[in-house]
Amino acid sequence: MKKLNTLAAVLAVAFLIGCATSAVAYKTLSALQVTTSAAYAGYLDLVVTGQVKTNSVPVVSRDYTLYLAAWNAAVNIAAQGTNAPATQSVTDASTKVISDITHAKA
């Protein structure tokens, strides 16, 4: 159930990002960052406590780093004061991180 809630949150944020103005972009990017970072932190906690195998760490960490790069680029676009929506790559990168985490937990 927790996996479905996380995925639903990511999809909801993805929808909002698609129609965001600069001010709304900041709010939706923030929500996406909170969701993705919480999933990643929770995953690392599971790794540290031995509940998830460590062989998934390189893939999840790489994808989280790629997500952060896409997220930072979207924040920079929003900071320019344009009404350009955040790119789909941010949502896609977040979804990839959460998908990798879900796969690692299975």
pLDDT in tens, 42-98: 999 999 999 998 999 999 999 999 999 988 888 887 777 765 556 678 888 888 898
Longest dimension (CA), the chain: 45
CA pseudo-torsion sign 52, 92, 27, 8: negative
Kindly report the pTM of this predicted structure: 0.70
* Phi (first) and psi of residue 83, to 5 degrees: -95, 15
Structural tokens at position 79 = 């900071």
